[in-house]
Every structure is written in structure tokens, then in C-alpha cells.
Amino acid sequence: MKIRNFALILVLMLTACTSNGTSTATLAPQDTSLPPTPVSHTTPVPDVRPTADAFLQAWQAEDYEAMYAMLSPASQDVNPQEEFIQRYKDVAISTTLDSLDYEVLSVLTNVRSAQAAYRVTFHTLLLGDIKPRDMTMNFSLEGSEWRVLWEDGMIMPDLRGGNKLALDFKIPARGNIYDRDGYAIANTTEVVSLGVIPGQINPDQEDTLLSELSRLTGKPSEWIYASYAEAAGPWYVAVGETTADQFNARYDTLSNLAGLQWKFYTSRYYFDNAIAPHVVGYTQFISPELLEEYKRKGYRGDEKVGMSGLEKWGEPYLAGTPGVSLYVTDPEGTILTRLGQSEVVPAQSLYTTIDANLQIEAQKAINSFRGAIVVMERDTGRVLAMASSPGFDSNLFDSENLNFQVLGDVLNDGSNRLLNRAAQGGGYPLGSVFKIVSMAAALESGVFTADDTYDCTYTFTDLPGYTLYDWTWEKELPESGMLTLPEGLMRSCNPWFYHIGLEMYRAGQGDVLPEMARAFGFGSVTGIDQVAESGGNVPDAISDEVTVQLSIGQSELLVTPLQVARMVAAIGNGGTLYRPQVVEQVADPDGVPVYTFEAEAQGTLPVSEENLAIIQDAMRSVVANKRGTAVQVFGGMSVPIYGKTGTAQTDAPGYPHAWFAAYTDAGREGRSDIAVAVIAEYSGEGSEIAAPIARRVIEVWFNGQPQRLYPWEARLNVTRTPVPTPSNTPEYVPPTETPIPDEEPTPISEE
């Protein structure tokens, strides 16, 4: 009995000890009829729901690294992180996952293990919502934290045991790109690449060979000859591309010409050596670094996609939507079940605002220079032509093209051919075309009126420490003499506009000029959207020197030809700045439009109706008055033209940039009036270079074709050269004498 009582007391003492080993027991009166009551001292089990939520939230955010960090050590041992992450990525790609939603349905917790039931809904791009999947997530308590016991069925129950998802695609044909009248600019068809091996050419057949190649490619025979004239070896020289239909129509003749090489292939074909390549862009196979991104969008991965221009902007329309079936397969690839399917949505086609004939002639017109041409409908903002030179042949980007081998040489020739000089590149100094803005600022400021006069001599000495010159001084022409303000624009008198800038600055209105420039659309992007662009720069009036230079379009002013075309269009249409656009319509295969062009007014020039009329009359006198700087260029034109010449000085050695900007006011039914901006880099005087180019563009628009040669042409689109045969790359050859600007000053220099 004593032994039994001692044992009972010992048990009571032991059960009264705390978890940290400290005894809190007290002796109670003995009652041998009742058993002792035990006291629990276990640590509470943590709630597993926050862990389940965190894991599913990380999945929702596609933070697979965070998900992996939550796995138990045992799960990490059998599932390497790279394979774990790739498993989730593969499912996201196969389902074209856009997003997912989840819901934790219930949790069950034991001492060392737990389980959460959850539901996931997959929202996909091609299949819509996949039927919600109910799954379970198991946990183990590692220390004081719940860790996930992972297995494949936690993504989808169907994937348990190593099963996979597979998509079966039906790819729609890519949509076409057309000009404003439905002329094909780009489509997918059978193409033939053409070239020659000079050493194999039969001299007796050479004239025929050149004629046939010119007929097929649209390139002048002289250009084709120049491309291989100095290459007499057995190597291949690229010439161009044509459609299989055009080639087959001449096959009997072509097949007998020695030295001619060709290859058939199916491709995205850009007609006429690429119409408006900087606007339309080009396609290429998806690069490896972008492959996952495109697959998530529903691409199979072997398609060609738009890489620039409208091909890139219009990708959602031009690609259509593939039809897909989503299957579950076992590890050997056998189909187990189908989870969903969708039907093909045919591609849509783009109809541009580009006029193909005008665009082709504009490209030819600027081809001999580095520069750009922009032609806009004056009253709507439609871009009818946008040419940047030197250009490129979009067909060269297809690796199946036999001429693909020259792509590297073309793109690395130092001329930056992919740059759209019409809208990109940071901009150019505008030179005397900016005097339009200066005249508007002068009139609106109240400091000057149209009747004010100024003696336009050779020099301007009102700015202390500087002597600035008029263009007549360097040309050794008589001084312009006493001029009204409109006559100052007509004569492009530099001292008149230096005077405007300085007097406004001294009158405390120096900011009026840069503010007017910004109101005319400079210093910010035009909002064209479908084409990449730069905003340029308008300097602030921080000193009288800056304002004086800005008044003639110099200083740190930088503009794009697109901005200039929009500006002169606004002057011609009564003051409305329209957003430039290059898409007329997007239509489905039945021709039903899903988008249609609408003119979009962005603002109004801050110029009164009276002052705008004064500026318009002055611009008309530039090309119509016998003293105007462009009257000799536009003689004989029946279309009323309002323009301004410009010759912008640059920091680089060589010739200045030649500018001409104008609008027409013909009012012809069925032939809209246009605004034109032309720049030819480092080429000389605006009146001698840019103005003739602008005339040709206007001739083509109103007459359908050029009416006369440039001074530097031997025949249309063939430049005169100092040697009997064309050079390898025919370009404008300037005079041997050093040219002198016709109307712009040299940069400010100290006396």
C-alpha cells in the first residue's frame, strides 16, 4: 500500500510539470476513488490557409520562383527548380493563359499535416474560360511553417502522372495591306527572287537581260547594270524580286538568258520593291527571345510576324486568330482527352491612306538624296505619301529569298536605312521655313504689323558683338532693300527676321516665339501612332542670341518633315491641326469595315483670320511673285501653290539641309488639295534642290506623272554622272564648286 501511494504521488507531480520543465504541482487531498486529470501543454498548430493563399497568389502573379520557395524540402529534392518553373510555363503557353482566378474551398489541419481544397479557373486568349478545376494541396509542417507537398495534379488533375497539354493549330492566312484605292502593297504569294552571275552573261543577250529585269523589278536598266558592272566574277549579284505570275509570263524568254539566276518561294511579298517601306514595315520569323511571349498570345511559333510599321501596328488584325484544339496527352504523346477548342477567325486587311502611284514617285524623287518627303491631305490629315531615303526592300528580310544574303550589307552600309527620316531621328533644323512661325508670332504679338517696313541690307548689326548676313551677300546679288513684313517672307530676308526676334525679346515678349512654335505643332509628337516618331525640340528664349537665331529656324530648333507638313496644311486649311493618319480602313474578308478613318482635329493655330490671310498671301508670293525665292522653280504650274524655301545650317561639315514646304489650293473635284514637306540632307539650297522635288510630287498628284526633268537628271529617275556608266549606287552628284546658301546666314560669329 505504501508503494502504491508513493507511485500515485509521483504521477501527480510529473503531470503538473510545465513544458519548460518547471513544476507547478500542489498536493491535493488524497482521493483514491478518482483518476488524476491530465494537463495539456502542446504548441498550437499554425493556420494553413494563409500558406495556401500565398501559393495560389504567387501562381496568379506567375511568380514561379516564390512558389518553388514554398515547397517542402522533400518536394524540392525530386522537382528541380528549373523543371518546376518550366512545367508551369508550358501550361501557360499551351493554354494561351491570360489570367487565372482561384478560390480556397476548405482546409483540414492535423498536428503535422494539412490539406487545402481549391478551385482554379483558367482564362485563356484562344479557348475562353477552361472549365474550373477542383484540386487539393497537401502540406507538411516543417518547424513552425507549412510547406507544400507538390505534385503535377496541383496544376490540373489531368496532368497527374506526367501527362502534358498539347495544342493543335489551324493558322489563318495573313491579311493583306492595300493603298487607298485597293492596290496591293503587301500580300502572301509565290515569289521569285532574281539575280545575275556577271561572268556568265552573254554580251549578245545583255540588252535583253537588262530590259527583262527592268520590266520585272521596275528598276531602271542603268541601275541594274551599275549593280554588277564591276563584278565580272562567278559570284551572285542580287537584282530584285517579282511575283511568280509575272515571271512565268516571261519564262520562255528568261529561261534562255545566260547569267540569270532565280528561285521560287512563298513569302510575304512587298510590291514594286516595297511601297512606303518605313510606313508598311516588314515581317520576320519570331526571334528566340520573343518566342515564349508570342506563344502565350496564341502563336504556334513558326509564323512570320510584323517587326515594324503597319505590319507591327496591325498585327492583331493581320494575323487573325488561329483555330486550336487543346488536348491532354500521356508522356508518350497519346491523346487522352480534349479540354477545349476554338474556330479560326480569318485575318483582316489594312487599307492605308497611301496613294501607291504618288508614293512610288515620291520614293524615286528623293532617291538620289538622304532625306524625306511627306504629303498630306490638307484638310483631313490623311498621309498620302511618306518617303524616306535611303530606303530598303522589305522583301530582303525573308531568309528564303535568294537575295537575303545582301541584307547585312544593305543595313550596314552606314546610311541607317531603317530610320524613317520623315518622322524619326530627333529632327532637323528647319531654316527659313520657320519664318512662317516667326511672322505669325510678330503679327499676333502686336509688336509688328503687316505694313511695317525694314531695310533689308546685307548685314544685321543690332545684336551687340555680332555681324549677321543676308543670303544675298554671299550670292553677290543686290540687296533686297525696303520690304514690308510679307515681302520679308517672300524674299526670305534674314535681317528682317533677326530684327523681329531681337525686338520681341527686348519688348519682354521673347517667349512668344517659342510658344507660337509649340502651338504650330513643333516640340511634341503629332500623334500619328501607326508610325514611330520623334517630337523634336523647341528651345526656350533664354537670351537675345537664342531668340535671334530661332527667328530664322536655327538655334537648337529640331523638327520632323511630318510636323512641317502638318503645319503648312493647317495654314492652308484655315488653321486646324489634324492628327496625321496612315490607315484608311480595316476590313474583314467580306469587306465589312471594323475601323474607318475619321479626321481628327487636334488644335487650332493661335492666329487670327486676318493675320492668317496675310501669311497665306506671303507664301503665295514666294512662288508667284517675280522676286519670290521659288518663282523660277514653279513657273508654268497651273495649280496654285503656297510655299516657303529653307536652307538650314548644320554643325556637320558639308552642305546645309535643303527644305521646301508648301500647300496647294486648286479646289478640284475628286483631287484633294495637299501639303508637302521636303528635306534633302546636306545637299545645298532649298530653292535649287528641295523645291524641284516638291514640284515633281505636286505634278504627280495633279497630273499623274512627272512633267519635267530635274536639273541633275539625264532622264527620269536616272541621275547624271561624271562618267559614261552609272556608279554602283547612283546618287546626286553636286557641282564641283563649293555651294553657297541662297538665303540662310552662317551661324552667329563674333566680329
Instruction: Please say if the pLDDT value at position 740 is more than 80.
Output: no
72 has catalytic annotation = no
pLDDT in tens, 102-113: 999 999 999 899
In this prediction, residue 15 carries a pLDDT of 40
| The pLDDT value given to residue 718 | 85
Q: CB of 48 within 8 A of CB of 107?
A: yes
Query: In terms of pLDDT, which residue wins out, 295 or 655?
Result: 295
The DSSP 8-state label assigned to residue 634 in this structure reads S
Q: Is residue 500 exposed (0-12), middle (13-18) or buried (19+ Cβ within 10 Å)?
A: buried
Only one residue has cell 495654314, namely 571
Return the half-sphere exposure (C-beta side, CA atoms, 13 A cut-off) of residue 80: 3
Structure confidence at residue 474 as a pLDDT band (50, 70, 90): confident
The whole-angstrom separation of Cα 161 and Cα 462 is 89
For residue 425, the model assigns a pLDDT of 85
Which of 12 and 249 is assigned the larger pLDDT? Answer: 249
| C-alpha closest to that of 267 among 301, 286, 242 | 242
Question: At 76, is the pLDDT very low, low, confident or very high (cuts 50, 70, 90)?
Answer: very high
CB atoms under 10 Å from CB of 228, counted, come to 22
* Residues 269, 271: Cα–Cα separation, whole Å: 6
pTM of the model: 0.86
The whole-chain average pLDDT of the chain stands at 90
**Least confident residue range of 81-95, 281-295, 338-352, 648-662:** 648-662
**Nearest partner of 456 among 503, 493, 489, judged by Cα:** 493
Give the pLDDT band of residue 421 (cuts 50, 70, 90).
very high
Distances, alpha carbon 199 to alpha carbons 14, 231, 235, in Å: 108, 8, 8
Q: What is the pLDDT of residue 725?
A: 30
CA distance 59 to 638: 70
Per the CB < 8 A criterion, the answer to whether 524 and 535 are in contact is yes
Q: What is the pLDDT of residue 652?
A: 73
Out of 432, 438, 534, 683, the active site residue is 432
The answer on pLDDT for 132 being more than 50 is yes
**Of the candidates 427, 414, 413, 385, which has an alpha carbon nearest to the alpha carbon of residue 279?**
385
Rounded Cα distance, 551 and 462, in Å:
14
Q: Are 377 and 253 in contact (CB under 8 A)?
A: no
Helix/strand/coil (H/E/C) assignment for every residue in 201-247: CCHHHHHHHHHHHHHHHCCCHHHHHHHHCCCCCCCCEEEEEEEHHHH
Taking residues 132-151, report their average pLDDT: 96
- Summarize pLDDT for 436-454 with one digit per residue, the tens: 999 999 999 999 999 999 9
How confident is the model at residue 650, as a pLDDT?
A: 87
Q: Which CATH architecture describes the domain 49-162? A: Roll (3.10)
CATH superfamily of 431-715: DD-peptidase/beta-lactamase superfamily (3.40.710.10)
Of the pLDDT bands very low, low, confident and very high (cuts 50, 70, 90), residue 25 is very low
Q: Are 466 and 750 in contact (CB under 8 A)?
A: yes
Taking the CB of residue 232, how many other CB atoms lie within 10 A of it? 10
Alpha-carbon dihedral angle through residues 9, 11, 14, 16, given to the nearest 10 degrees: -70
CA–CA distance, 644 with 660 (Å, rounded to integer): 6
138 neighbors 148 (Cβ within 8 angstroms): yes
Whether the per-residue pLDDT at 580 is higher than 60: the answer is yes
Query: Region 184-210: what's the mean pLDDT?
Result: 96
**Amino acid identity, residue 111?**
V
Q: What is the pLDDT of residues 600-652, one digit of tens each?
A: 999 999 999 999 999 999 999 999 999 999 999 998 899 999 999 999 998 87
pLDDT of residue 30: 44
Our CA angle for 12, 17, 19, nearest 5°, is: 145
Q: How confident is the model at residue 577 (pLDDT cuts 50, 70, 90)?
A: very high
**Domain extents for the chain?**
1-41, 49-162, 431-715
Mean pLDDT of 32-60: 76
- Specify the pLDDT at position 720: 78
CB–CB of 509/437 below 8 Å? no
**Closest to 12 measured CA to CA, from 20, 34, 2:** 34
647-685 pLDDT per residue, tens: 999 887 668 999 999 999 999 999 999 999 999 999 999
Cis preceding linkage at 741, omega within 30? no
Q: What would the mean pLDDT of 309-333 be, rounded to a whole number? A: 96
Contact 140, 113 (CB under 8 A): yes
Write the pLDDT tens digit of every residue in 355-371. Answer: 999 999 999 999 989 99
| Percent of the residues in the chain that have a pLDDT greater than 70, as a whole number | 90
Task: Specify whether the CB–CB gap between 386 and 211 falls below 8 A.
Answer: no
Task: Give the C-alpha separation, 55 to 53, whole Å.
Answer: 5
pLDDT of 19 reads 35
The pLDDT tens digits of the residues spanning 1-11 come to: 444 444 444 43
Q: How confident is the model at residue 749 (pLDDT cuts 50, 70, 90)?
A: very low
Say which amino acid occupies 459: T
Q: What is the per-residue pLDDT for 719? A: 84
Instruction: Report whether pLDDT(736) > 80.
Output: no
Residues with Cβ within 8 Å of residue 225, at least 6 apart in sequence: 210, 725, 726
Mean pLDDT in residue range 462-482: 92
Confidence of residue 732 (pLDDT cuts 50, 70, 90): very low
